[in-house]
Structures are given as C-alpha cells and as structure tokens.
Amino acid sequence: MSDEVEEDARSADAIAIPLADRDWKRDMWRDLKKAPLTAKFGILVIASYVFVALFAPVLTPYGESEIVGSEFDVWGDKFILGTDNLGRDMLTRLIYGARNTLGIAFLTTLLAFAVGGCLGLLASILRGWVDQVLSRIVDIFMAIPVLIFALVLLTIFGSNAQNLIIIIALLDSTRVFRLCRAVGMNVAVMDFVEVAKLRGEGLPWIMFREILPNILPPLVVEFGLRFCFVFLLIAALSFLGVGIQPPTADWGSMVRDNATLITYGDITPLLPAAAIALLTVGVNFVVDWFLHKTSGLRDDH
C-alpha cells in the first residue's frame, strides 16, 4: 500500500511541475497585457537596446574603430549620422556603444549584487560583531562620493574594463548591502527561518532558500535602479576620460569627442546623450510598474 502511495505522490509531483510552469507563463503574459503604456514602452525600449547590443556586428555598416571618411562629415546617404572627430561612422559607433556600455554596466551591477547581497544576508543572519564590522566598513565607503572615489581608484589602478567593473561594483555594493541587510533582518526573525535552523540547515541554505526568495521584489527593483546609476556613472567616467578607453565605442566618450560640433549647431553629440536618457527613462518605467505591482496596491480606475 505504501508503494502505491509513493508512486502516486511521484506522479503528482511530475504533473505539478509542468502545470506550475504553465501557470507562471500565463500569469506573466496576462500581467504584461494589463501593464500600463509606460511599462510597455519601457519594455520595448529595453528589448530594442538588448537586440541592438547582441546583433551589433550584423547591424553596423562598418567596423567599430574603422576610419571610413574625413573628420566630422555631415549627415548623408553614405554616413547616415555623419562621422566623428577621427572619421569613424557615428551610426556604427552608436550601435557598438550600446553593446559596450550596457554589457559593462550589466556585469558591474551583477557583481555589485553578488557581493553586497551576500554580505547583507550574512549581516542579517549572524548579526552581532559580524553585522557591526561590515556595517562600519560600508559606512566608511559610503562617506566618500562615488564619482570622486572611482576617479581616484581608476587613476591608481588603471582604466581598463576589468578594473572599471571591479571598482564600480565594489563601490556600488555598499548600497546593495544596506538594502539587503534591512529587508533580510525582517525575514531572519520569522518562524520558518527558526525552524530551518532547528532542522540543522546550513548558512547557505538559510540565506538562499529561506530568506532570499522572500526579499526578491525589493531587490529586483533595486537592481533596475542600480543598473541605471551604474550605467550613468560609467558614461560620466568615460566622458571624463577614465572610463571605457578608446578605441572601444562608448556613449560617454562619444559625447566628449564630438562636443565641439555643438558650437556649430550640429546635434550629433546629443545622439549618444539621448540614447543614455532614453534607456534610463525606459528602465525607470519598468521599475515603477514592477514596484507598484509587488506592493499590493491597486488602481481604482
């Protein structure tokens, strides 16, 4: 009899998993259809940028650093958006800038959340001297403006992509630590966490199976906001000459290299700036929608 019960349970589990998957997919599609226009616009913007970043070599007419004309050629049939200060095609550089800037910003944000999130969960569970030591170290880092600190560190260690990712991720992980610690402490005192401890579950299990799933909504929202801040910080550092280094295409350095055209009434330097602004607006639209959805608030109209 017990064998039959076990077999029925296994069959039920096998059926439940696909049903759960189908329900999740259906719910997600229904939520997307009910999303406000601003959220749909944001999703469209993000999807367009990701598509351009992934297929940049296919979409571009020239090489990323290829000199194809004279400097500052005007817009025309040959060069749709003209050329930059070295005679490189602006459209090509703009498309490759999406791949480089977004890719580095995304990796930096992931690393910041991996470091800050793990340390924040540790502080929320262990508390005591571990929480005090980690919190005071974070306070020291947060007391220094991020842009100034990044400028100093990049000047010391060099402005290559690897250093850029590591330095900005470590500096930005302090903000992630604060949020993860705050929301994690509210969950760490709940009964199901205490039960897991009594069962003898290890620290990694409690961190990633008990606490993390229950604090995901604010972390997802923070990921979107952190991505925007990191994205803007990298563009600012590139504009100052210590971010992504040439000949790699980057929107911040493109604004700097072509800024002289503004004095002649040419809007070409504003194109990478507009690309930065559009992505920031799109991400914030999606973040606002997700925050409103996970908060439990409902529209009356």
How far is CA 72 from its chain centroid? 33
pLDDT tens across 155-174, in order? Answer: 899 888 899 999 999 999 99
Write out the E strands in 56-139. none
Radius of gyration in angstroms for the set of CA atoms belonging to the chain, rounded to a whole number: 24
pLDDT tens across 62-94, in order? Answer: 888 888 888 888 888 888 888 888 889 999 999
pLDDT interval class at 23 (50, 70, 90): low
pLDDT interval class at 122 (50, 70, 90): very high
Contact 179, 219 (CB under 8 A): yes
Cβ neighbours of residue 190 closer than 8 Å, sequence gap 6 or more: none
- What distances in angstroms separate CA 198 from CA 184, 192, 195, one per listed residue? 19, 10, 5
pLDDT at 24 over 70: no
Query: Rounded to an integer, what distance in angstroms lies between the CA atom of residue 91 and that of residue 83?
Result: 8
pLDDT at 45: 94
Beta bridge partners of residue 89, listed in sequence order: 83
Query: What is the rounded average pLDDT for all residues in the chain?
Result: 84
Q: Which two tokens stand for residue 42?
A: 């944001």
pLDDT at 147 over 60: yes
Amino acid at 278: L
Q: Which domains does the chain show, CATH number per domain?
A: 101-294 (1.10.3720.10)
pLDDT tens across 45-70, in order? Answer: 999 999 999 999 899 888 888 888 88
Contact 82, 90 (CB under 8 A): yes
The predicted model gives 220-233 an average pLDDT of 90
The predicted model gives 274-290 an average pLDDT of 91
